Chain A
Amino acid sequence: MTETTLDTPSHRWWNSRALSRFMRHRLAIIGTAMLLLLTLACFAGPHLLAYDELFIDLRARFSPPLTGDHYLGTDPMGRDITARLLVAGQTSLLVGFFAMILSTLIGTVIGVVAGYYGGRVNAALMRFVDAFLAFPSIFLLLALAAFINPSPVMITVIIAVTSWMEIARIVEAEVKSLRERDFVMAGRMLGLSNTHIMFRELLPNMVGPIIVAATLTVARAILLEAYISFLGYGIQPPLPSWGNMLNGAQQYLDSAPWLAIVPGITITIAVTSFNFIGDGLRDAFDVRSEPT
């Protein structure tokens, strides 16, 4: 499914060729810039605003954007949407980021082990991956969310649990193709432990594809959070997340369309940034992968 031109163990991801190729990728630079701005706004912005994201003012409910200090208006509780949007960004970005870390870890470990040992271990682990893939992801997400108290940490875990399979497959394929190479043989002959060979020798050669997949996983995780929170199974109020700000917005589409429009645009910007960066990384590492 995925091929790579990485040939020798010395080919490291931080080499200048990849970096310079990334820098020449215009979309990737735009994506990085957008993401940096957004992150900065989300983490520094709330301190500069006149309103707290939790401050309720029932007299000011449904103020349209640009009412007084409410730059983006207020929600049905009279809370400042700007403040909520930025704090929601912290939640959503952190959920996305940590879900990526966790799913990359799970996927990589399973993929490396399955690919390296082959045979029965491979068959068992890959059937496990297939089983997870055979589940409609939304089923897993919603069933787990109903099962567990949906705190941001649990939502992160749930998302990670449902999105590690692709990385596992990519890594497994990579390891299989690298397994019989000379440097692995050499490692075995030198008496290096399997763990050492797997994680010290093989893994560095797959950093490119893993980083690309991980970047796209962040994008996916942010979207997934939005989906489950929109359906009401995700992060619970009053803690804002981009998804739960949209929950209920449909009801007010006629009278207060900004409730839906503002968070939606923000999610799109954030996810687009990650997709742009992922695209740039893919070119930089010369990873050829098919969209799934």
Chain B
Amino acid sequence: MARYLLKRLGQSIVLLIIVSMIGFFMLHLTPGGPLSQYALTPGMTQETIDRIAEQMGLNRPLPVQYLDWVWRLVQGDWGESYRDNQPVLSVIGRHLFATLLLMGSSTAISIGIGTWIGIRGATHRYSAFDYVATVGAMVALSIPTFWFGLVGIYIFSLELGWLPAGNMYEIGNGSFLDYLHHLIMPSVVLALVNIAIWSRYMRTATLDVINQDFVKTARAKGVSERRVLMKHVVGNALLPMITLAGMQLPNLLSGALVTETVFTWPGMGRLFLDSLGYNDYPVVMGLLMFSAILVLLGNLIADLISAAIDPRIRLS
């Protein structure tokens, strides 16, 4: 076990190095830079921009900058945002809450609804419900999330006026209900795709269990179908579910990006987009590393939990 973990850790570090190098060089080779935002300031001259770039160390050779960045990172210093001079970790931390809130509620919605649809579809296989659910899931996977959001805003904000068109809370309000009110639309929009995925998963998992001998035996013994299902299906389906949940972690950054943009949600996706637009390298690199670590961690946790739950899987 310890050896396995060490091996995985080693692999992860190699991966992180590759990711950070590709990311760093790609970003820095992109034309433009963090000082561009000042180029149109009245009275701003090229020498001023050059002088500041020099002071900020932006003129050093790229490998030097990279190694400097790595060296600081190893010491726990993620750098500071070029835009507001705040430590990168605190910048990310601030936006993390908004994203976690959104992802959390949307995951809850998608697990809840997805599980229900999946089990019902499997137990009522080839029924009208199953068919609609199957087709519905495929259509849901085909809808551009941001467009679904736009339609939602059009109907529920502009036409009906029931839900706010954006933001996380009203200024000066910020009560629990206020957050909830703002959370409904973006989390449902974001949940759409995941409902589709979860429900397909659940259906397959349930079918697998239903067809297994022990379920048939249980049923034959007169145990109520409901109880059998709850016990075995949920138990057995948990495994792929957890794996899938692990795979969802990296979506923290990219999954919510477009939804956050449409709903002006102050999360990590928006932060990423804004930072990229202004070449705020430390923040973009921070987000990249943060999300790469999450991917690796997500994979590892999913594997470990799978192993813990299912003794047939051996870690090697």
Pairwise interchain contact B292-A253, C-beta atoms closer than 8 A: no
Interface status of A257 (Cβ within 8 A of chain B): yes
Complex formed: what's the CA distance from A136 to B146 in Å?
18
Q: Chain B residues with Cβ under 8 A from A147's Cβ?
A: 26, 29-31
B273 at the interface (CB under 8 A from A): yes
Q: Mark B221-260, 1 if CB is under 8 A from A, else 0.
A: 0000000000000000000100000010010011001100
Contact of B154 with A by CB under 8 A: yes
Q: Give the distance to chain A from B137, nearest Cβ to Cβ, in Å.
A: 9
Residues in B with CB closer than 8 Å to A139 are 23, 253-254, 272, 276, 284, 287-288, 291
**Of A127, A128, A250, A268, which contacts B11 at CB under 8 A?**
A127
A231 to B32, CA, bound (A): 19
Instruction: Mark each residue of chain B from 143 to 160: 1 if its CB lies under 8 Å from any CB of chain A, else 0.
Output: 110111011011000100
| Closest-CB distance, A113 to chain B (whole angstroms) | 19
Pick from B15, B150, B197, B295: contact of A260, CB below 8 A: B150
A53 within 8 A of B: no
Number of B residues whose C-beta is below 8 Å from A? Answer: 53
Instruction: Give the complex CA separation of A128 and B18 in angstroms.
Output: 8
If A143-B276, A231-B258 touch, whether A136 touches B253 (CB-CB below 8 Å) is yes
Q: Does A192 contact B (CB under 8 A)?
A: no
| Residues of A in contact, count (CB < 8 Å) | 44
**Contacting pair A135 B19 (CB below 8 A):** yes
Q: Check B200 for interface membership: any CB of A closer than 8 A.
A: yes
Contact B150 A275 (CB under 8 A): no
Overall SS of chain A's interface: helix
Which A residues touch B16, using CB under 8 A?
134
Q: Assess whether A144 is interfacial by the CB under 8 Å rule.
A: yes
Residue from B32, B143, B240, B292 within 8 A of A135 (CB atoms)? B292
Q: Please state if B254 and A136 are interface contacts (CB–CB under 8 Å).
A: yes
A268 x B19 contact (CB < 8 A): no
On whether A230 and B258 interact (CB within 8 A), knowing A27-B138, A136-B250, A136-B288, the answer reads yes
Q: What separation, in Å, do the CA atoms of A231 and B254 have in the docked complex?
A: 13
Q: Mark B21-54, 1 if CB is under 8 A from A, else 0.
A: 0110011011110000000000000000000000
Q: Which of A124-159 contact B (CB under 8 A)?
A: 127-128, 130-131, 133-139, 142-144, 146-147
In the complex, are the beta carbons of B142 and A268 less than 8 A apart?
yes
Considering only CB atoms, which chain B residue lies closest to A31 in the complex?
B138
Which one of B30, B197, B254, B257 contacts A143 once the chains associate, using CB atoms below 8 Å?
B30
| Contact A246 B292, CB 8 Å, known A231-B261, A272-B138 | no
Cβ of A15 within 8 Å of any chain B Cβ, yes or no, is: no
**Chain A: minimal CB distance from B67 (Å):** 19
Question: What are the residues of chain B within 8 A of A292 when measuring CB–CB?
Answer: 247
In the assembled complex, the Cα of A291 lies from the Cα of B118 at a distance in Å of 14
Per DSSP, chain B at the interface is: helix
**Bound form: Cα–Cα A274–B309 in Å:** 36
- Tell whether, in the assembled complex, residue A135 and residue B154 are in contact, meaning their CB atoms are under 8 Å apart: no
Q: State whether B19 touches A134 (Cβ < 8 A).
A: yes
Residue B89 lies at the interface, judged by CB distance under 8 Å to chain A: no
B-chain residues with CB within 8 Å of residue A268 when the two chains form the complex: 139, 142-144, 147
User: Which residues of chain A are near B141, meaning CB under 8 Å?
Assistant: 271, 275
A130–B158 Cα distance when bound, in Å, is 44
Mask, A236-251, CB within 8 Å of B = 1, is 0000000000100110
Is B315 interfacial (CB-CB < 8 Å)?
no
Within 8 A of A (CB), among B255-303: 257-258, 261-262, 269, 272-273, 276, 284, 287-288, 291-292, 295-296
* Contacts A/B (CB < 8 Å), 29 sampled: A27-B138, A127-B14, A127-B15, A127-B18, A130-B15, A131-B15, A134-B250, A135-B292, A136-B291, A138-B253, A139-B253, A139-B287, A139-B288, A226-B144, A230-B144, A246-B147, A246-B150, A257-B158, A261-B151, A263-B147, A264-B147, A264-B150, A267-B143, A268-B139, A268-B143, A268-B144, A268-B147, A275-B141, A290-B204
Q: 3 closest pairs, A vs B, by CB?
A: A271-B142, A264-B147, A138-B254
Where the two chains meet, the residues of B that have a C-beta atom closer than 8 Å to any C-beta of A are 11, 14-16, 18-19, 22-23, 26-27, 29-32, 135, 138-139, 141-144, 146-148, 150-151, 153-154, 158, 197, 200-201, 204, 240, 247, 250, 253-254, 257-258, 261-262, 269, 272-273, 276, 284, 287-288, 291-292, 295-296
